[in-house]
């Protein structure tokens, strides 16, 4: 299992951290994806925040059938929990300040990652970058809707190529 909101991101209070261990904050994520690929992306996101940025993170999953250390599974917990085939995350990075929408421009860094939920996933998340539009197309969500339409369209239609350290 993996956390939607990482435990390490909610350490200010015991109550905040405990909430990350509720089943509503969990996704059936195979070990190498969780412990390598996503751990690297989560560390990168924390580094961006610690460097004086504000980060907005949206994540989810879709599809059926993950392939972990116990083999391929469609469900766990006697069929009550679906194991997704893909796990995605969208991270918007903006400078600190008030009114976040006013700080977003067409040059704002938006990192979109979509990884297969398999144990042979590449440990480097950078190779799984994609457009927000592609993530929206497979899951039916409309992300970044608070932004002005022209900026939203520009940000959602490009694949971010920035550093992955």
CA distance 16 to 36: 24
Compute the Cα dihedral for 72, 82, 38, 31 and give only its sign.
Answer: negative
Spatial separation of the C-alpha atoms in residues 85 and 63, rounded to whole Å: 5
Instruction: Go through 2-31 and write b for each residue having 16 or more CB atoms within 10 A of its CB, e for each that does not.
Output: bbbebeebbeeeeeeeeebeeeebebbbbe
How far does the chain reach from its first CA to its final CA, in angstroms?
25
How far CA 134 is from CA of 11, 140, 147, 165, in Å, comes to 33, 10, 18, 24
Residue 3 annotated in active site: yes
Catalytic residue among 3, 10, 44, 89: 3
Catalytic residue numbers read 3
């Amino acid at each position: 299992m993996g956390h939607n909101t990482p435990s390490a991101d909610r350490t200010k209070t015991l109550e905040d951290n405990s909430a990350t261990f509720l089943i509503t904050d969990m996704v059936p994520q195979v070990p190498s994806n969780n412990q390598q690929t996503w751990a690297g992306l989560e560390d990168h996101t924390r580094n961006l925040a610690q460097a004086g940025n504000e980060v907005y993170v949206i994540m989810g999953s879709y599809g059926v059938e993950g392939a972990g250390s116990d083999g391929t599974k469609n469900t766990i917990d006697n069929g009550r929990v679906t194991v997704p085939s893909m796990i995605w995350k969208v991270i918007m990075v903006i400078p600190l300040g008030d009114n976040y929408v006013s700080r977003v421009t067409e040059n704002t860094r938006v990192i979109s990652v979509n990884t297969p939920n398999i144990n042979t996933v590449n440990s480097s998340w950078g190779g799984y970058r994609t457009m927000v539009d592609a993530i929206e197309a497979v899951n039916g969500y409309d992300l970044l809707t608070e932004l002005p339409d022209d900026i939203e369209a520009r940000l959602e239609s490009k694949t971010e190529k920035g550093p992955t350290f």
